A and B are shown apart, each in its own frame.
Chain A
Amino acid sequence: MTPADGNATRRAVFARAVGFIVLWLALAGPAPADLPAGVVAAAAATWVSLRLVPPSAWRVRPAALARFVVRFLVQSVIAGVDVARRALDPRLPLRTGFVSYAPHLPPGPAQSAFCTLTSLLPGTVPCGTDDSGALVIHCLDVDQFVASQLAKEETLFVHACGGDRDND
């Protein structure tokens, strides 16, 4: 590890620890008596986050991330309206089935994060992988263009997290 890497790691540890402390304060309130528990929780959370998502692997692009978040919010509203409409429709319009989707992300935390986002997008819930490692996606309507939609979401997600910088 070069000294520059060491500095980057220290910065990441510090930023994450501060983030978790702020999160604790927002949730539990700023009572001084509770603070020791918050510090322990934040330290544990920082340790876990460093193990699961090592620093400097990906560098987030703020503008791309903001665009992704807005798009994700709009998509999840569409997802909610879509499923509510199907549930309340007397004819119960469903064409459920499985679609397999080979992700570009390798198995690991990034792929898991992508799966979690996918489960909140319209019409898709990932339910594990098949023998070839492709994601098996359960769809409300197999007639929708699920695979091309997911490919687009994945590209945007990787771009927002800066993942396409290191993988070239």
Chain B
Amino acid sequence: MSLLLDIFTVVAVSLGAVFFLAGAVGLLRFPDTLTRLHALTKADNVGLGLIVLGLLPQTERPLAAVKLIVAWLLVQLASGTVSQLIARTARRTEPPA
């Protein structure tokens, strides 16, 4: 059982890392600020979600699992809020592509 859970952790965390990689590639390849925001907020959000999901079976106390999930939710909230603020500023200062 613990082997299965370990395999689950490795698969989920690796998949999460792939999404972080894709987000970073998007950050480098996408043409302007607004498009790069899409790459960062959405790909990293799924990447972090998968890493949290993968780490959940490894927690020793239920409180640690709650903490992981809360951290993910707070990051989601922050990235959703900050991406809008950056997008507003970018639209005002950058000529539309």
Docked Cα-Cα span, A116 to B87, in Å, equals 12
Query: Are A94 and B31 CB-contacts (below 8 A) given A26-B63, A138-B91?
Result: yes
B77 x A116 contact (CB < 8 A): yes
Sample (21) of A-B pairs whose CB atoms are under 8 Å apart: A27-B70, A27-B71, A80-B19, A80-B42, A87-B25, A87-B29, A87-B30, A96-B97, A98-B96, A119-B80, A119-B83, A119-B84, A120-B45, A120-B76, A120-B80, A125-B83, A126-B84, A127-B88, A127-B91, A136-B91, A138-B37
- B residues near A136, Cβ cutoff 8 Å: 91
Of residues 104 through 156 on chain A, the ones whose CB sits less than 8 Å from some CB of chain B are 115-117, 119-120, 122-123, 125-128, 136, 138, 140
B45 x A76 contact (CB < 8 A): yes
**Interface size class of chain A, counting residues whose CB lies under 8 Å from the partner chain:** 35 or more
Instruction: Select one of A30, A96, A126 contacting B35, CB under 8 A.
Output: A96
Chain B contact surface mostly:
helix
B22 x A84 contact (CB < 8 A): yes
- Closest residue of chain A to B63 (Cβ to Cβ) is A26
CB distance from B87 to the nearest CB of A (A): 3
Would you call B2 an interface residue if the criterion is a C-beta within 8 Å of the partner chain's C-beta atoms? no
- B residues near A96, Cβ cutoff 8 Å: 31-32, 34-35, 97
B63 x A29 contact (CB < 8 A): yes
Query: Are A125 and B25 CB-contacts (below 8 A) given A27-B70, A94-B30?
Result: no
Instruction: Select one of A27, A122, A127, A138 contacting B42, CB under 8 A.
Output: A122
B26 x A87 contact (CB < 8 A): yes
Docked Cα-Cα span, A27 to B47, in Å, equals 21
- Closest residue of chain B to A28 (Cβ to Cβ) is B67
Docked Cα-Cα span, A81 to B46, in Å, equals 8
- Closest residue of chain B to A94 (Cβ to Cβ) is B35
B22 x A88 contact (CB < 8 A): yes
Would you call A79 an interface residue if the criterion is a C-beta within 8 Å of the partner chain's C-beta atoms? yes
B84 x A125 contact (CB < 8 A): yes
Query: Are A125 and B37 CB-contacts (below 8 A) given A83-B26, A92-B29, A96-B97?
Result: yes
Would you call B14 an interface residue if the criterion is a C-beta within 8 Å of the partner chain's C-beta atoms? no
Query: Are A80 and B88 CB-contacts (below 8 A) given A87-B39, A92-B29, A116-B81?
Result: no
Query: Are A82 and B42 CB-contacts (below 8 A) given A119-B80, A119-B84, A127-B88?
Result: yes
Docked Cα-Cα span, A88 to B32, in Å, equals 16
- B residues near A87, Cβ cutoff 8 Å: 22-23, 25-26, 29-30, 39, 43
A140 x B70 contact (CB < 8 A): no
